[in-house]
């Protein structure tokens, strides 16, 4: 029954839809996970290759930061536009188009000889990521059959695993042989394009089948000012957390090389460990959320890492590596808690266009964890 405590009433999906509507599409979910794995691996090659670009072209840290800024801003700020576009004009080729842009960016970056051409290349890489994540996240939830926690965990672990393995691949292919070998990762982008074409076809077929089913019954839930305040506070906390993680990820190798005299190839293995612990933290976050609740895990992921971050600039190499890995694990543990949907209402009725505010929620949550 509807109820109202002074807020705006919104419709919610019932926890137990019909059996036919709840069947999980494991094949589709696996393909989306595979695509996220390939995309994550490609995207993580860029920070891994930054030391090579710096040495080859004499880049300053300001220029390195601009490369990182351009790819992050492009991949983040374009996602709302992509999300709105796919809501209004859905197409099964959208994911494949995004991976083609990534392929163009990889080839362009491998041949870039001036700083401006590097920036243009990473714009294509950022655009490819911006196209991939909103649509892939939507399809992962669409394939979940009501098991959204499972779907999002599988989807995110695929991306984290790819990001962890990217630096290892860069250590084997790019670091020893130079910038031009970035183009070899175009093979992964081409494979991802084929996978995404299949994903688009399967998702379109599933959508047609579900469109012939009756609408699910819904309940009502109130969206209050307190929930809005909670969302804003959580957004600010998660934004600051992601800024810190991005700084560590992109400058970790430089810090190890310049401060401790570590070889470029050896620094890639530390970066691999950092990203691998992020994947482990994401997996561990699920049981921790079930045991202690979403709010406790979110607060722990933000506040629990604070002592380690204060110690990092003042320790030796071995302690630094340990603290960096611990920070990665702790900060990544909140993902499952956020996706558990305890802190805000989700998402929409079947076959119903989501309201603008819920579109905004979906896009912002996606931005926070990519």
Range of the structural domain that residue 363 is part of: 25-210+224-368
Residues 6+ apart with CB under 8 A from 104: 124
Q: How far is the CA of 154 from the CAs of 37, 136, 285, 342, in angstroms?
A: 10, 12, 13, 19
What token pair was written down for 239?
């934004």
Q: In this structure, is residue 35 part of a structural domain? A: yes
**pLDDT digit string, tens, across residues 150-161:** 777 788 888 888
**pLDDT digit string, tens, across residues 320-369:** 999 999 998 988 887 666 655 444 444 333 334 445 445 555 555 554 44
Q: What is the pLDDT of residue 361?
A: 52
Q: In this structure, is residue 184 part of a structural domain? A: yes
Q: Does residue 260 register a pLDDT over 60?
A: yes
- The label of the residue with tokens 């930061």 reads 65
Q: Does residue 108 register a pLDDT over 60?
A: yes
Q: In this structure, is residue 267 part of a structural domain? A: yes
**pTM of structure:** 0.74
Q: What is the pLDDT of residue 184?
A: 94
d(C-alpha 342, C-alpha 294), whole Å = 7
Q: In this structure, is residue 190 part of a structural domain? A: yes
Of 89-98, 99-108, 195-204, least confident by mean pLDDT is: 89-98
Q: Quote the number of domains for the chain.
A: 1
What percent of the chain has a predicted confidence (pLDDT) above 70?
A: 78
Q: In this structure, is residue 20 part of a structural domain? A: no
CATH of the domain at 245: 1.20.1250.20
d(C-alpha 269, C-alpha 289), whole Å = 30
**pLDDT digit string, tens, across residues 308-324:** 888 988 999 999 999 99
Residue 206's pLDDT band (cuts 50, 70, 90): confident
Taking alpha carbons only, the member of 110, 159, 166, 113 closest to residue 137 is 159
Q: In this structure, is residue 216 part of a structural domain? A: no
**pLDDT digit string, tens, across residues 37-86:** 999 999 889 888 999 999 999 999 899 989 988 988 888 788 878 878 87
Q: In this structure, is residue 17 part of a structural domain? A: no
Q: In this structure, is residue 77 part of a structural domain? A: yes
d(C-alpha 311, C-alpha 328), whole Å = 14
């Amino acid at each position: 029954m509807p109820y109202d405590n002074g807020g705006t009433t919104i419709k919610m999906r019932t926890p137990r839809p019909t059996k036919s509507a709840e069947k999980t599409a494991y094949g589709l979910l696996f393909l989306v996970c595979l695509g996220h794995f390939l995309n994550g691996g490609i995207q993580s090659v860029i920070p891994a290759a930054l030391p090579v670009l710096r040495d080859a072209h004499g880049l300053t840290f300001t220029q390195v930061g601009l490369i990182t800024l351009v790819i992050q801003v492009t991949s983040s700020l374009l996602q709302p536009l992509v999300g709105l576009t796919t809501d209004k004009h859905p197409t099964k080729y959208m994911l494949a188009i995004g991976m083609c842009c990534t392929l163009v960016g990889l080839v362009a970056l491998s041949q870039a000889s001036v700083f401006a051409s590097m920036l243009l290349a990473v714009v294509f890489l950022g655009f490819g990521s911006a196209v991939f994540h909103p649509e892939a996240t939507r399809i992962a939830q669409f394939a979940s059959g009501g098991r959204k926690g499972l779907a999002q965990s599988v989807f995110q672990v695929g991306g984290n695993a790819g990001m962890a393995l990217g630096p290892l691949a860069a250590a084997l292919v790019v670091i020893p042989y130079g910038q031009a070998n970035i183009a070899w990762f175009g093979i992964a982008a081409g494979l991802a394009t084929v996978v995404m074409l299949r994903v688009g076809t399967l998702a379109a077929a599933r959508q047609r089948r579900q469109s012939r089913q009756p609408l699910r019954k819904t309940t009502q839930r109130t969206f209050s000012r307190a929930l809005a305040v909670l969302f804003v506070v959580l957004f600010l906390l998660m934004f600051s957390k992601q800024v810190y993680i991005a700084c560590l990820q992109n400058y970790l190798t430089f810090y190890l090389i310049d401060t401790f005299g570590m070889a470029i190839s050896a620094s890639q293995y530390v970066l691999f460990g950092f990203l691998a612990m992020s994947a482990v933290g994401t997996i561990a976050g699920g049981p921790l959320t079930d045991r202690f609740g979403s709010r406790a895990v979110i607060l722990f992921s933000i506040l629990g890492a604070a002592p380690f971050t204060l110690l990092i600039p003042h320790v030796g190499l071995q302690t630094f590596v340990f603290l960096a890995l611990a920070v990665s694990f702790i900060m990544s543990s909140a993902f499952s808690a956020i996706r558990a949907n305890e802190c805000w209402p989700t998402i929409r009725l079947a076959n119903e266009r989501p309201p603008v505010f819920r579109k905004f929620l979906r896009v912002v949550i996606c931005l926070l964890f990519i």
